[in-house]
Amino acid sequence: MEDQGEWAPVLSLTGVPRYTERLIERLHELEIAFPPSYPYSEDSSQGKQYMNTRCPAWCDRVLMSATAKDLVLKPENEEKNLVYDNIGPNVCMGDHKPVYLSFRLTPGAGKWCQRVEKIS
């Protein structure tokens, strides 16, 4: 993953529309360390060039529940090889660059503990 670097000021301006606030409170995302995923030039010779007609934005994201985020970031998943990035950074793929989240989980990492209690 790249450092946020030059895009950090733009990333700080991203927000959520008021009508989605209640939903966003329940969704989580890993730290973004890739350039905005939109709007790229659709010229096949300019895979890294943004269009001049719109402001760059992170329209494509991977959102997850708090439980899923905890599982992905769990310390016991040492070899998780966590990657949150865009696909084809140098290739024209239309006006959006798809993003992906790749990780490895330890077998059984998501199993819930079952506890049996006696009621007297």
What 8-state DSSP symbol labels residue 12?
T
pLDDT in tens, 12-36: 666 666 666 677 778 889 999 898 8
Question: Could you check whether the bond before residue 39 is cis, i.e. omega within 30 degrees of 0?
Answer: yes
pLDDT in tens, 47-67: 888 888 888 888 888 999 988
Segments making up each domain of the chain, as ranges: 1-104
Residue 24 sits at φ, ψ, to 5 deg, of -65, -30
pTM above 0.85, yes or no: no
Mean pLDDT of the residues in the chain: 78
